[in-house]
């Protein structure tokens, strides 16, 4: 909780002191200076992963900014990345409609890509126990995969428009999602059932959702220039 990582379409990322707001590291040029779509910390805070317009994901030393691994295999730009809880794997989603799992130590792709989405993959994450992978797409679905067997665990969850963002509750039981239709939805991860909620719609696309660490609050960010806080 002491640092914030930010990435930019200018092809760089930076690390900031969360208390003072001062720049700690960077700007660091990444992905051949092309846009950086997503940046995430590993759970132990020692590494950073980025997703880039150069069709690659990359892993960096969080303290020095040195690139440790470059993940090559996607056919189009990489939109999103997420570390497994134990930090040994990275999952990525791409405009090539696939999800890939990578070995962080070697940078190699583990097995074949996960296929089934019919449009760009917007967001990915691991479950807290690292047994499941979640992905959302412009095909209006959220898919839940078994991280080992790579098969879908339940039928895809469906929203009425692009699913631009997802977030898993800390206990791994609930998923929240935001869409281009301005809506926020909550799901039971075990059954795939939509949970009725009193979320109010944003006025434009919902680009980001997040749970608080204690799981009691949800934040949503929208192109309507607002951030909303909700009781989870």
Residue 119 has pLDDT above 90, yes or no: yes
Structural domain containing residue 217: 36-231
Residue 93 has pLDDT above 90, yes or no: yes
Asked if residue 31 is part of any domain, the answer here is no
Give the total number of structural domains in the chain.
1
Residue 106 has pLDDT above 90, yes or no: yes
**Burial per residue of 101-114, b for 16 or more beta-carbon CB atoms within 10 angstroms, e otherwise:** bbebeebebeeebb
Asked if residue 1 is part of any domain, the answer here is no
What is the predicted pLDDT for the residue at 212? 95
**pLDDT, tens digit, for every residue of 149-196?**
999 999 999 998 999 999 999 999 999 999 998 999 999 999 999 999
Asked if residue 28 is part of any domain, the answer here is no
- Helix H or strand E encompassing 41: strand 36-41
Residue 130 has pLDDT above 90, yes or no: yes
Residue 198 has pLDDT above 90, yes or no: no
Taking alpha carbons only, the member of 95, 98, 107 closest to residue 71 is: 107
Asked if residue 7 is part of any domain, the answer here is no
**pLDDT, tens digit, for every residue of 47-85?**
999 999 999 999 999 999 999 999 999 999 999 999 999
Asked if residue 182 is part of any domain, the answer here is yes
Residue 1 has pLDDT above 90, yes or no: no
CATH number of the domain that 139 lies in?
2.130.10.10
Residue 88 has pLDDT above 90, yes or no: yes
Helix then strand then coil, in percent of the chain rounded to 5, is 0, 50, 50
Asked if residue 150 is part of any domain, the answer here is yes
Residue 114 has pLDDT above 90, yes or no: yes
| Pair 116, 128: CB distance under 8 Å | no
Asked if residue 64 is part of any domain, the answer here is yes
* Residue 132 to residue 126: CA distance in whole angstroms: 6
Rounded to two decimals, the pTM is 0.92
Asked if residue 206 is part of any domain, the answer here is yes
């Amino acid at each position: 909780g002491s640092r914030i990582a930010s990435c930019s379409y200018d092809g760089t990322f930076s690390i900031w002191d969360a208390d003072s707001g001062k720049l700690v590291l960077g700007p660091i040029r990444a992905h051949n200076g092309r846009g950086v779509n997503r940046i995430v910390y590993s759970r132990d805070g020692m590494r950073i992963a980025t997703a880039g317009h150069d069709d690659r994901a990359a892993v960096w030393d969080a303290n020095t900014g040195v690139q440790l691994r470059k993940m090559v295999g996607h056919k189009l730009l990489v939109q999103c990345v997420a570390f497994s809880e134990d930090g040994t794997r990275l999952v990525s989603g791409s405009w090539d409609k696939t999800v890939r799992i990578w070995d962080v130590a070697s940078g190699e792709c583990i097995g074949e890509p996960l296929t089934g989405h019919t449009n760009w993959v917007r967001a990915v994450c691991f479950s807290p126990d690292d047994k499941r992978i979640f992905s959302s797409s412009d095909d209006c679905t959220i898919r839940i995969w078994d991280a080992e067997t790579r098969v879908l665990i339940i039928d895809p969850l469906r929203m009425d428009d692009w699913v631009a963002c997802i977030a898993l509750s800390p206990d791994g039981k609930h998923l929240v999602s935001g869409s281009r239709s301005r809506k926020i939805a909550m799901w039971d991860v075990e059954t795939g059932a939509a949970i009725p909620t009193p979320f109010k719609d944003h006025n434009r696309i919902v680009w980001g959702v997040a749970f608080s660490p204690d799981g009691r609050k949800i934040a949503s960010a929208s192109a309507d220039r607002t951030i909303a806080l909700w009781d989870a």
